[in-house]
Amino acid sequence: TQLLEQSPQFLSIQEGENLTVYCNSSSVFSSLQWYRQEPGEGPVLLVTVVTGGEVKKLKRLTFQFGDARKDSSLHITAAQPGDTGLYLCAGERGQGGKLIFGQGTELSVKP
Is the CB of residue 10 less than 8 Å from the CB of residue 104?
no
In the shown chain, the binding pattern of residues 5 to 34 toward another protein, with x for contact by CB under 8 A and - for none, equals: -x-----------------------xx-x-
Binder of another protein out of 42, 59, 82, 111 (CB under 8 A) = 42
CA angle 7, 3, 92 (to 5 degrees): 100
35, burial (CB in 10 Å: exposed 0-12, middle 13-18, buried 19+): buried
Shortest Cβ 111–another protein spacing (Å) = 25
Residues numbered 64 to 103 that lie near another protein (CB under 8 A) are: 88, 90, 92, 94-103
Query: Rounded to an integer, what is the distance from CA 71 to the centroid of its chain?
Result: 10
Residues near another protein (CB under 8 A): 4, 6, 30-31, 33, 35, 40-45, 48, 50, 88, 90, 92, 94-104
